[in-house]
Amino acid sequence: MTHFQGWDIEKYKCDHEPSHHWQLKKEFMERNKDRFEEHQLVCLANTLGNIEFMGCQYPQDTMNLIQELSMGLVDDFRDAQKGKLQRTFVSGSDAANRKVNRK
């Protein structure tokens, strides 16, 4: 099926979106623009973002499709993020105990 590919990817960039998030989603859309219609590809790019940035999980068929479409792209992104600041989650009780005990 042939579909219109002349749509502007940039119109989907959100003002509040971190640049590294946008770059991953933008490159994903650029790589796959010829394979899906606009609305489908934008949804898939957002799904990729949810998986990579928030740790969301989806049905296995969806995860497999995203993995196939982002082959190589996600590996490059993860490698670039390795040296960046990582968040550490601490339970509330651990934080309170450390504050009280000053450890």
Mean pLDDT of the chain: 85
Segment 18-56, tens digit of pLDDT: 988 999 999 999 999 999 999 999 999 999 999 998 889
Distances in whole angstroms, Cα of residue 88 to Cα of each of 70, 85, 91, 95:
27, 10, 10, 12
Alpha-carbon distance 53 to 23, whole Å?
13
pLDDT at res. 89: 67
Tokens representing residue 31 in the block: 């790589």
Structure-block tokens of residue 4: 């219109």
Contacts of residue 28, defined as CB under 8 A and 6 or more positions apart, other chains included, come to 44, 45, 48, 69, 70, 73
